Amino acid sequence: MEIPGVVIARLPLYAQALEALAQKGEEVVSSQRLGEALGITPAQIRKDLSYFGRFGKQGRGYNVAGLLGSIRQILGLDRQWRMALVGVGRLGRAILSYEGFAPQGFHIVHAFDVDPEVVGRKFESLVVRHVRELEETLAQEPVDIGVVAVPPEAAQEVIDRLVRAGVRAILNYAPMTPRVPPGVQVRRIDPVVLLETMTYYLKGQEGVRFLQGRDPLFLR
Amino acid sequence: MEIPGVVIARLPLYAQALEALAQKGEEVVSSQRLGEALGITPAQIRKDLSYFGRFGKQGRGYNVAGLLGSIRQILGLDRQWRMALVGVGRLGRAILSYEGFAPQGFHIVHAFDVDPEVVGRKFESLVVRHVRELEETLAQEPVDIGVVAVPPEAAQEVIDRLVRAGVRAILNYAPMTPRVPPGVQVRRIDPVVLLETMTYYLKGQEGVRFLQGRDPLFLR
DNA sequence: GGGGATTTGTGCTATTTATAACATTTTTTG
DNA sequence: CAAAAAATGTTATAAATAGCACAAATCCCC
Ligand SMILES: NC(=O)c1ccc[n+]([C@@H]2O[C@H](COP(=O)([O-])OP(=O)(O)OC[C@H]3O[C@@H](n4cnc5c(N)ncnc54)[C@H](O)[C@@H]3O)[C@@H](O)[C@H]2O)c1
Ligand SMILES: NC(=O)c1ccc[n+]([C@@H]2O[C@H](COP(=O)([O-])OP(=O)(O)OC[C@H]3O[C@@H](n4cnc5c(N)ncnc54)[C@H](O)[C@@H]3O)[C@@H](O)[C@H]2O)c1
């Protein structure tokens, strides 16, 4: 069975909301309530979950901890994931010091750059290597995911390198669209692109309120 | 006529690719070539553009500078946009110093926090104000967009405040889903959520290559 | 300046995605 | 304990989105 990508993309949002509910001490939740928290219809949530099994109890709802565990397992979050960062400039250093990755099982285990000022230096107990050692390093100690924080002109080259070294998932902070072979996952983090999708609706000036169709996923 | 949100969401990608082409000195581009650069079918691109008018020339393609200008106008990027940042911690300071916003017409003109260590200090020639002055400040000098970089527990409260002050677009870096009244745009920047949409495909282990359906937009 | 090659814009069709509705099960209440 | 209320999983229906294919326009080359 082939599960739609858009369904996979919603699962992390369900997991995030379930974590917040668990935090608050909630033990069960209905698709209705979960939907209200996320701005998604209850039918959508039930349908999404039904791709993977039966997790709820009629008349009651879903066990928060149980469903969270199931979703984490579906997403492969029941293990640790190793990542390599390329580009240790201002953004790269901020990424290295972000504590939001580890609690979800994501760990940066290598960092690369070209700048002689940066190569050899230590950030967050990680020594920056020259990017020319990337293939060799990843052959010795492989990673699952590459994180790219270099200028856009250098990004394609860096991504090619990561792919050649066997990396099959890229988190791309550079404002460009890379070409990758099929089977390699890429996700873009680009605040400017997101801002630009909002200005379209803003420019309709004070008067207009409802213009948008259904909101394409990344809303909210 | 009601233009699908997913079409609007692609326009900034077209603009970004056109900027790169203009940089390289290209004067015209076909939907074919633009599509190759973005991993989008040529038909899709032509259909998207046809919602707004006729920008191409048969047998030739699109004038790069001309189409870029048209798209920027459609998106409302032919003016400057004012933003307020809330939360001047580590991420907030990184956002303040990011030079990617200004070239596209986005400017942070206010910064707010609650921490007495931070309020009153200056970052990038901007004095941080206490968040309790938010409504008053925005009444005097309004902004179009709010940028939220506070811990997730504080984010809903901050967003409510921004909305009450008349802000109708939010760029949200906090890992949570806020509730906002209809007509208010929200976009999420959440690297962990994106990573989690990739691990699903990675966990299928070395053997599997093609699992994904069509990729939901943020790919590439 | 004529003819083959390109490439757009769009009507039509196919596919994907979301919603609605309901039978079934469980819980709660009186 | 029976009846009403609540909530799931799933089938059917509707809506949204993408792709195809082609007439019409333009370009380029000789
Ligand atoms: N998505 C976001 O939120 C966001 C925010 C800020 C910056 N950015 C983008 O991230 C990138 C980096 O931004 P920054 O402010 O850190 O810039 P920066 O100049 O401070 O850092 C870039 C680093 O990349 C290194 N580098 C250059 N070419 C390289 C190569 N081929 N291999 C390895 N390293 C290389 C440089 O030596 C430098 O250390 C830019 O593309 C920028 O647009 C994205
Ligand atoms: N999306 C991303 O790429 C990304 C990256 C890093 C951090 N984050 C998120 O951004 C947020 C901030 O992260 P950080 O590392 O900068 O944390 P931080 O603790 O360094 O900064 C948070 C700031 O928010 C301020 N704050 C708290 N409550 C406030 C309120 N009610 N009003 C105004 N200001 C308030 C604090 O005083 C502090 O200065 C967190 O939610 C974090 O998860 C997102």
Beta-carbon count within 10 A of A193 CB: 20
A214: confidence class by pLDDT, cuts 50, 70, 90: very low
Rounded Cα–Cα distance for residues A89 and A149 (Å) = 8
Q: Determine contact, residues B123/B88, Cβ cutoff 8 Å.
A: yes
**Strands A28-29 vs A61-63: parallel, antiparallel or unpaired:** antiparallel
| Average pLDDT of the segment spanning A21-38 | 97
Angstroms from B161 CA to nearest CA on chain A = 16
Mapping DSSP to helix (H, G, I), strand (E, B) and coil, where does residue B11 land?
Answer: helix
| Average pLDDT of the segment spanning A162-177 | 98
> Nearest nucleotide, C1' to the C-alpha of A28?
D7
User: Does CATH number 3.40.718.10 belong to domain A81-189?
Assistant: no
| Average pLDDT of the segment spanning A114-142 | 97
What fold is seen in the domain A5-75? Arc Repressor Mutant, subunit A (1.10.10)
Domain boundaries, chain B: 5-75, 81-189, 196-220
**Amino acid letter, B177:** T
| Average pLDDT of the segment spanning A112-123 | 98
Res A109 pLDDT > 90: yes
Rounded Cα–Cα distance for residues B3 and B47 (Å) = 11
Residue A60 tokens read as 């009651």
B211: confidence class by pLDDT, cuts 50, 70, 90: very low
Rounded Cα–Cα distance for residues B69 and B47 (Å) = 18
Mapping DSSP to helix (H, G, I), strand (E, B) and coil, where does residue A129 land?
Answer: strand
Angstroms from A212 CA to nearest CA on chain B = 6
Return the nearest residue to D18, CA–C1': B44
| Average pLDDT of the segment spanning A69-87 | 98
More confident residue, A205 or A57: A57
Mapping DSSP to helix (H, G, I), strand (E, B) and coil, where does residue A186 land?
Answer: strand
| Average pLDDT of the segment spanning B85-92 | 97
Res A84 pLDDT > 70: yes
Q: Is the dihedral of CA A196, B85, B187, A11 positive or negative?
A: positive
**Amino acid letter, A102:** A
B1: confidence class by pLDDT, cuts 50, 70, 90: confident
Res A215 pLDDT > 80: no
Residues contacting ligand 2 via CB (< 6 Å): A 98, 100; B 86-92, 112-115, 118, 131, 149-152, 154, 157-158, 173-175, 189-191
**A177 contacts in chain B (CB < 8 Å):** 13, 16-17, 37-39, 220
Could you write out the DSSP letters of every residue in A61-93? EEEHHHHHHHHHHHHT-SS-EEEEEE--SHHHH
By the CB < 8 Å criterion, does A195 face chain B?
yes
Q: Determine contact, residues A66/A91, Cβ cutoff 8 Å.
A: no
Q: Which residues pair with B122 in a beta bridge?
A: B127
Q: What pTM was estimated for this model as a whole?
A: 0.94
Do domains B5-75 and B81-189 share one topology? The answer is no
Mapping DSSP to helix (H, G, I), strand (E, B) and coil, where does residue A203 land?
Answer: coil
pLDDT at B204: 74
Q: What is the pLDDT of residues B95-148, one digit of tens each?
A: 999 999 999 999 999 999 999 999 999 999 999 999 999 999 999 999 999 999
Q: Determine contact, residues A147/B187, Cβ cutoff 8 Å.
A: no
Residue A131 tokens read as 């990017």
- B8 C-alpha to ligand 1 centroid (Å): 27
Per-residue three-class SS string for chain B:
CCCCHHHHHHHHHHHHHHHHHHHCCCCEECHHHHHHHHCCCHHHHHHHHHCCCCCEECCCEEEHHHHHHHHHHHHCCCCCEEEEEECCCHHHHHHHCCCCCHHHCEEEEEEEECCCCCCCCEECCEEEEEHHHHHHHHHHCCCCEEEECCCHHHHHHHHHHHHHCCCCEEEECCCCCCCCCCCCEEEECCHHHHHHHHHHHHCCCCCCCCCCCCCCCCEC
B210 and A100 in contact by Cβ < 8 A? Answer: no
Stated length of chain A = 220
Indicate the average pLDDT of chain B. Answer: 93
Q: What is the pLDDT of residues B178-196, one digit of tens each?
A: 999 999 999 999 999 999 9
Q: Is the CB of B63 under 7 A from strand C?
A: no
